[in-house]
A and B are shown apart, each in its own frame.
Chain A
Amino acid sequence: MSYMTTSERQSLLSSELAVARTRGLFAQALGRVAAAFGFEHVTLLNAPSAEDLLLKPLIIESSLPVSYIKDFDRGHMLRACPFAARMRESAVPQVWHLSDPAHAQSFPTDIRNLMLQRGMMAGIAMPINSADGQRLVFWFGGERASLGQSEINELVMIVLHALDTYNAVKRNEESAHSALSARELEVVRWTAQGKTSIEIGQILALSDHTVNAYMTNAIKKLDCVNRTQLVAKAIRLKLIN
Chain B
Amino acid sequence: MPLRFEQPAVEHRLQSRAHIGITDAEALTMFAAYRLFGFWRMNLETGHFFASEDVHQIFDLPYSEGPVNLTELMSRIHEEDRLLIAETFEQASLHRVGFHYVYRVDNGLGGYKMVRSVGKFCDDASGGGIVGITYEFVEKLRIVGFEDSGTPA
Q: Which A residues are within 8 Å of any B CB, using their own CB?
A: 19-25, 28, 66, 189, 191-196, 224-233, 235-236, 240-241
In the complex the two chains form, what is the Cα distance from A157 to B115 in whole Å?
Answer: 38
In the complex the two chains form, what is the Cα distance from A226 to B44 in whole Å?
Answer: 6
Give the contacting residue for A20; candidates B2, B44, B69, B83; CB below 8 A: B2
Give the contacting residue for B93; candidates A19, A25, A229, A235; CB below 8 A: A229
Near A by CB (< 8 A), chain B positions 53-80 give: 66-72, 74-75, 80
What is the distance, in angstroms, from B6's C-beta to the closest C-beta of chain A? 9
Known A-B contacts A25-B2, A229-B93, A232-B93; the reply to A194 vs B83 at CB < 8 A is: no
Known A-B contacts A25-B87, A232-B89; the reply to A192 vs B71 at CB < 8 A is: yes
In the complex the two chains form, what is the Cα distance from A240 to B48 in whole Å?
Answer: 15
Contact call B2/A233, Cβ cutoff below 8 A: no
Contact call B2/A191, Cβ cutoff below 8 A: no
Contact call B44/A233, Cβ cutoff below 8 A: no
Which residues of the other chain, B, contact A196 by a CB distance below 8 angstroms?
46, 48, 67
Q: Does B33 contact A (CB under 8 A)?
A: no
Q: Which B residues are within 8 Å of any A CB, using their own CB?
A: 2-4, 42-49, 66-72, 74-75, 80, 82-84, 86-87, 89-90, 93-94, 129-130
Task: Give the interface SS of chain A, mostly helix, strand, loop or mixed.
Answer: helix
Known A-B contacts A24-B83, A24-B84, A235-B86; the reply to A229 vs B94 at CB < 8 A is: yes
Determine which residue in B42, B45, B66, B93 has the highest number of CB atoms from chain A within 10 A of its CB, and name it. Answer: B93
Contact call B47/A233, Cβ cutoff below 8 A: no
In the complex the two chains form, what is the Cα distance from A232 to B86 in whole Å?
Answer: 5
Known A-B contacts A192-B71, A193-B71; the reply to A226 vs B90 at CB < 8 A is: no
Contact call A236/B86, Cβ cutoff below 8 A: yes
Known A-B contacts A192-B70, A226-B47, A241-B71; the reply to A232 vs B2 at CB < 8 A is: no
22 contacting pairs across A/B (C-beta < 8 A): A21-B2, A24-B87, A25-B3, A25-B87, A193-B71, A193-B72, A194-B67, A196-B67, A224-B94, A225-B94, A226-B44, A227-B46, A228-B45, A230-B47, A231-B47, A231-B70, A231-B89, A232-B90, A233-B90, A235-B71, A236-B90, A240-B71
